[in-house]
Structure 1
Amino acid sequence: MGLQSAQDKAQAEGFYLLTSHDSAGRDRLQALDRNWKVCSQSIKAGTTVPVDTKLDFGAVKLDETCPAGDAKAPEAAGDTMPNLVGKSVKAARGALDSGTSVTTTDAAQDRMVLLESNWQVCTQSPAPGTALNGQPVDFTAVKYEENCP
């Protein structure tokens, strides 16, 4: 079902605590709900719950295939660099301390990386498992429809 239709139906049933997230794990915002479709929901359809229960929809863009299960956002880095290869640049940045300096370079061409949720990390420095002590982080990335070199 389309995300907007699912939200409308839930509201018609009396639910008002509605949220949604990117099932692909790219940390995209569902700004135009009509451009997204529902892949999962936090409460199974047909289950009887109070209408003040929070209902969360997992969604992807209309032209995308729903993943078998919601992709998880990377865990917060803490003191050790996680493996962020394959994650969206936006989700990778979100896993790092907000004070971390991050540089992202196009791995395929000489383009600017502007909408970070549309780019996937190809390489990272420091390497996964490296102690984080405030050093800058470098990513190379390509757009999702491209392959890392």
Structure 2
Amino acid sequence: MESRSTGKRVDHHTRTLTIALACVATVALVGCDPAATEPTPDTPAATEPATKAPAPSATEEEPAEKKAVPDFVGMGLQSAQDAAQAEGFYSLKSHDSAGRDRMQAFDRNWKVCSQNMAPGKVIPTDTTLDFGAVKLEETCPAGDKQAPEAAGGKMPDLVGESVKAARGALDSGTSITVTDATEDRMVLMESNWKVCTQSLAPGAALNGQPVEFTAVKFEESC
């Protein structure tokens, strides 16, 4: 007697067909979904427009305060400068009223003879004040003596001028020789020496020729 098996036998071809149908169904479902089949376009990131920085507003400087100029004549140079600054005038300079082209190295040794801005005149405080001065032991001249100049290419009359001022009147490239008129001293501080003679006569044409001076100290006679 043959024994019969009660279990069902699954055919190999049937299993293969079932798997294939499942795959087809999956593909069909995916193909019906437009969102799944169509590529997603690249969406540019939203960018905010660049804000332009406001141009800096042009600001005008406030005008300087205006004040009346004090009377500085007769004051010591240092005291005059201090008083000017106390009033708000900080742009200050000075010059030698005697025309010797000396520097006011120690302000306390000088006194004010003149000022470029008249006392009582109302001016902006950033205006430059220029003081004319002489040494304390000297007498102020009636007016500031102007430094000599070689006008029109002609030799000026430099007799009596300080050697420093005489040198400044000529072209910086001029060859200048200075000798002591009375002794054999060296002329070192030229602002303390005055010209006694000059090798070129006043009015002579200056063509680059050397110039010779003789000189003595200001308190001496030529």
Quote how far apart the aligned CAs of 1:77 are: 4.8
In structure 1, the partner of 2:212 is: 138
Alignment of 1:1-149 (within 5 A): 1-148=75-222
Quote how far apart the aligned CAs of 1:76 are: 3.4
Helix, strand or coil at the partner of 2:146 = coil
Is the 8 Å Cα contact of residues 77 and 95 (structure 1) preserved in structure 2?
A: no
Structure 1 stretches of at least 4 aligned residues deviating more than 6 Å after TM superposition? none
Q: What is the rounded CA distance, in whole Å, between the counterparts of 1:98 and 1:78 in structure 2?
A: 16
Structure 1 unaligned residues grouped into runs of 5+: none
The root-mean-square deviation of aligned C-alpha atoms, in Å, is 0.9
Is the 8 Å Cα contact of residues 36 and 61 (structure 1) preserved in structure 2?
A: yes
Whichever structure has more helix as a proportion of its residues is: 2
Quote how far apart the aligned CAs of 1:109 are: 1.1
Q: Deviations over 1:22-60 (max 9, x none)?
A: 000000000110110000001112221110111000000
Task: Specify the structure having the higher radius of gyration (Cα).
Answer: 2
Q: What is the rounded CA distance, in whole Å, between the counterparts of 1:47 and 1:25 in structure 2?
A: 26
Partner amino acid for 2:158? L
Q: Normalization by structure 2: what TM-score?
A: 0.65
Helix, strand or coil at the partner of 1:90 = helix
Q: Normalization by structure 1: what TM-score?
A: 0.96
Q: What is the rounded CA distance, in whole Å, between the counterparts of 2:165 and 2:197 in structure 1?
A: 14
Is the 8 Å Cα contact of residues 77 and 96 (structure 1) preserved in structure 2?
A: no
Partner amino acid for 1:20? S
Q: Higher RCO, 1 or 2 (CA under 8 Å, sep at least 6)? A: 1
Q: What is the rounded CA distance, in whole Å, between the counterparts of 1:128 and 1:15 in structure 2?
A: 42
